[in-house]
Structure 1
Amino acid sequence: MHVQLSAATDDGVLTTLDLYRWLRQDPAVRRHTDVTLGSPRSDGRTMGAVEVVNLVLGQSFSALNLALAYANWRNARPTAAPVTITVEGRSVTVTGADEETVARIVELLRPGAADTDR
């Protein structure tokens, strides 16, 4: 499963780079998936983003691992720009690190989730 994370605001590049570095340093993320920096896909959902964090999730990496890594990053940077997570044409924009946000990310990453934007 291909996942893209981006921040499409004035400081979006800085936020995206910071999140990229955080995920690359997270042992659970680094061990189970490749984290790369790239350009947004041309589906129009990441307009304004200069860079995106790309992850390819395999079966050995759970959605909860990514959601918790994001929550830890957000807790360390509560004023960072909102992050948009895009998976298979669906996306969710998150700003917090609470249980509801973690649940929204996990639901987005759940195989077979409804094909609707959140």
Structure 2
Amino acid sequence: MELSLTLADGENTGDQLASLYRWLRQDPDITDHIDVRHGQGTAPPGTMSGTLEVINLAVSNTLALANLFVAVGAWRGTRRGAPEVRVERDGLVLTVTGDDPEKVRALIADLGTANRP
């Protein structure tokens, strides 16, 4: 499953994204089952900016996806005023605002059914 992570617009977004990238790359529960790459994405339609930084992910299984959401929630817990993290798969965009287990399950279910007939 191919995903991309971006952050909600705000102050120091590039620095925050770099911090999240390092956080994910240092977590063996993530790197053992997810290919984490720093990349470029296109700006949303109607915006003035040319490109946005993104974290591209290739997730191998559902357990790895759950670990990803927990890791993102844990990273957000270490940041004062942590930005929302947007997860995109095949045009479906979901927002991570915490690490509540019930919300994590709902996000996984939503991503698992993205663009399925």
Aligned to 2:36: 35
Aligned to 2:2: 2
1:59 positional shift: 3.3
Deviates most, 49-58 or 16-25:
49-58
Segments ≥4 residues shifted beyond 4 Å: none
Whichever structure has more strand as a proportion of its residues is 2
- Partner deviation per Cα, 1:30-89 (whole Å, 9 max, x = no partner): 1112111111146x38x6672101101123853211111112112222521111110111
| CA distance in 2: counterparts of 1:74 and 1:100, whole angstroms | 17
Aligned to 1:13: 14
Counterpart AA for 2:19: D
1:113 positional shift: 4.1
Q: 1:89 to 1:102 in 2, by over 3 A?
A: same
Counterpart AA for 2:2: H
1:22 positional shift: 0.5
Q: 1:15 to 1:100 in 2, by over 3 A?
A: farther
Q: Which has the larger radius of gyration?
A: 2
TM-score, length basis structure 1 = 0.77
1:9 positional shift: 1.3
Aligned to 2:92: 90
| CA distance in 1: counterparts of 2:95 and 2:79, whole angstroms | 16
Counterpart AA for 1:24: R
Aligned to 1:72: 74
| CA distance in 1: counterparts of 2:65 and 2:54, whole angstroms | 18
Q: 1:96 to 1:78 in 2, by over 3 A?
A: farther
Unaligned runs of 5+ in 2: none
How many residues end up aligned between the 2 structures?
Answer: 112
Unaligned runs of 5+ in 1: none
| CA distance in 1: counterparts of 2:21 and 2:70, whole angstroms | 15
TM-score, length basis structure 2 = 0.78
Root-mean-square deviation (CA, aligned residues, Å) is: 2.5
